[in-house]
Amino acid sequence: MLGDLRTVAVHPGFRRLFAVRIVSQAGDGMFQVGLAALFFFQPERLATAADVAAAFAVLLLPFTIVGPWAGVLLDRWRRRQVLLVGNAIRVVLTLVLAALLLTVGVGPAVYVVALLTLSINRFLLAALSAGLPRVVPRDQLLMANAITPTLGAAAAGVGAALGFVGRFAPTGAAGDAVTLVGAAVLFAAASALALRLRPDQLGPTHRAGADELWARLREVGRGLRQGTRYLTRRRTPAMALGVMATHRFIYGVTFIAAVLISRNLLVDPLDADAGLAMFATVLASTTIGFGLAVVVTPLAHERMTPATWIVVCLGLGAASQLLLATSYVLPVVLISGGLLGLAAQGAKIAVDTIVQRDTHDDYRGRAFALYDVLYNAAFVGAAALAAVVLPDTGWSPAAFVGLAVAYLVAAVLYRLGPARPVHLEDVPDPADDGAAPARS
């Protein structure tokens, strides 16, 4: 990766855009830690299932609603200005959020400001990706696309770590405010770094007028409908997306349960800082499961089809829920988290493969736009269910057994589905553009 980075870093435009991404995403990581502490781990607040569910709905609604439309608006606005002004607005909103935390605490105003800040972030991420082809040659674009999201995510991790450490000096609400102020400083730096790019350097070459903009916005909605109809007729990609949404839904309920268990059962409920540290430990076990899936899934694909691996992953997901139903002691929670991470990421890799292979190139963009909507909407739905079925402690054997049954039902229904995609007379087959069928 470092060799690839050296290859594309010879281009000044890339270096400047990359600097904006790294600093901006480091601020994202610090901001998200501040929100986690703000919503779930304040010493004076005992986190409840309804509190956590509402917070996650706020965190994910921008990804569900704003995401599909962001690209269209970026065809009207200069992308460099989006990076400049968007980060500057985030500075103001983050400072307002810190002030609200110190004065009135968590309330409707905090949720509104957090929602606005995260919505702007969707435009910034889209602008960073859309501007990349303007700063690297076409033959290096694939390389740049592989490097920048990975290192951007690493920068977000570094920002989260800094935020986690920084909030302990001072502790409590003041520490959370310090973390948010630190994120605002990084956003301000990212905004300043955007000035190193020329105003029109990131495009668009042709900025859509108002009439054209509205036509494109309508086209997005029409395109999603067309994509849904196509995927449903093809059957296998629609079924794969259904598995992904089911997995994400169950994962979301379990994730919210993990926040509550870490906060209210595994440590003293009044020690919010210890709760945050415990949740970081639980989340690390799930991350290990994600990493294991990256290693195991290619090996599994040498011995079974992606569809069979999805069924195996659904079984692993059921096992994680049944294990968690037995006890909430830390070793059980960590093992369950690792199994769930392996199941979720392993299934996601296989679903991505099936959607890519069984969807014609003319529909792939719409397929993955729909994928993004379902992926985040499922978590919002999970938050609504968690508010109803989970106790404030987060641990409910009946709920976890129910989620295990849902995993098993999904596995059976998926296995009973068609082994091959349905051939459509009016649409070219994916095999015609070099893609292989997902099942054999």
- The pLDDT tens digits for 206-224 are 665 666 667 766 777 777 7
Are 36 and 143 found together in one domain?
yes
What angle is formed at CA 63 by the lines to CA 191 and CA 203, rounded to 5 degrees? 45
In this structure, what CATH number is given to the domain that contains residue 132?
1.20.1250.20
pLDDT for residue 428: 56
Domain assignment present for 211: no
Does a structural domain hold residue 77?
yes
C-alpha dihedral sign at 360, 364, 370, 375? positive
**Do residues 240 and 149 share a domain?**
no
Threshold 0.75, pTM exceeds: no
Most confident region among 115-129, 239-253, 266-280, 294-308 by mean pLDDT: 239-253
pLDDT score at 421 = 78
Mean pLDDT of the chain: 82
DSSP string, 113-178: HHHHHHHHHHHHHHHHHHHGGGTS-GGGHHHHHHHHHHHHHHHHHHHHHHHHHHTTSS-HHHHHHH
Same domain as 231, residue 156: no
User: Can you tell me the mean pLDDT for 173-196?
Assistant: 90
* The domain boundary residue, chosen from 205, 236, 262: 205
Most confident of the ranges 72-86, 96-110, 120-134, 398-412: 398-412
**Residue, of 99 and 63, whose pLDDT is higher:** 99
Judge if 304 and 368 occupy the same domain: yes
Residue 219 domain flag: no
**Residue-wise pLDDT tens digits, 424-433:** 766 555 554 4
State the Cα torsion 188-190-191-194 to the nearest 10°.
160
- My answer on whether 309 and 369 are in the same domain is yes
Q: Are residues 33 and 181 in the same domain?
A: yes
281 and 170 within one domain: no
Which pLDDT score is estimated for 330? Answer: 95
Per residue in 296-344, pLDDT (tens digit) is 888 888 889 989 999 999 999 999 999 999 999 999 999 999 999 999 8
Query: Measured between alpha carbons, how far is 377 from 118 in angstroms, rounded to an integer?
Result: 15
Using CA atoms, how far residue 20 sits from 27, 33, 93, 191, in Å, is 11, 20, 19, 8
CA angle 188, 191, 195 (to 5 degrees): 135
pLDDT tens-digit readout, 381-430 = 888 898 889 998 899 999 999 999 999 999 999 999 887 877 776 655 55
Q: Are residues 185 and 252 in the same domain?
A: no
Q: Report the chain's terminal Cα–Cα distance, integer Å.
A: 34
Residue 397 lies inside a defined structural domain of this protein: yes
Q: What is the pLDDT of residue 328?
A: 93
Q: How many CB atoms lie within 10 A of CB 60?
A: 20
Instruction: Categorize the per-residue pLDDT at 434 as very low, low, confident or very high, splitting at 50, 70 and 90.
Output: very low
What is the predicted pLDDT for the residue at 242? 92
Instruction: Give the end of a domain, one of 176, 205, 234.
Output: 205
Please tell me which residue, 323 or 75, carries the higher pLDDT value: 323
Indicate the number of domains in the chain.
Answer: 2
Residue 439 clears pLDDT 60, i.e. is over it:
no
Q: 277 and 169: one domain? A: no
pLDDT at 71: 58
Could you tell me the pLDDT band of residue 3, with boundaries at 50, 70 and 90?
confident
Q: Are 354 and 237 in contact (CB under 8 A)?
A: yes
Percent of the chain with pLDDT over 70: 83
Locate 428 and state its tokens. Answer: 């070219």
CB atoms within 10 A of CB 326: 11
The pLDDT, as a whole number, for residue 404 is 97
Is the pLDDT score of 86 beyond 50? yes
Q: What is the pLDDT of residue 46?
A: 47
For residue 212, what pLDDT is reported?
A: 66
Q: Which of 205, 232, 255 is the last residue of a domain?
A: 205
Domain, as residue range, for 411: 224-440
Together in a domain, 200 and 230: no
Q: How confident is the model at residue 270 (pLDDT cuts 50, 70, 90)?
A: confident
- What is the structure's pLDDT at 340? 95
At residue 440, the pLDDT reads 34
Q: Tell whether 412 and 358 lie within a shared domain.
A: yes
Please name the amino acid found at residue 286: T
**pLDDT digits 0-9 by tens, 164-184:** 776 665 666 677 788 899 999
Sign of the dihedral through C-alpha 129, 135, 139, 143: negative
Residue-level pLDDT at 437: 44
pLDDT at res. 327: 95
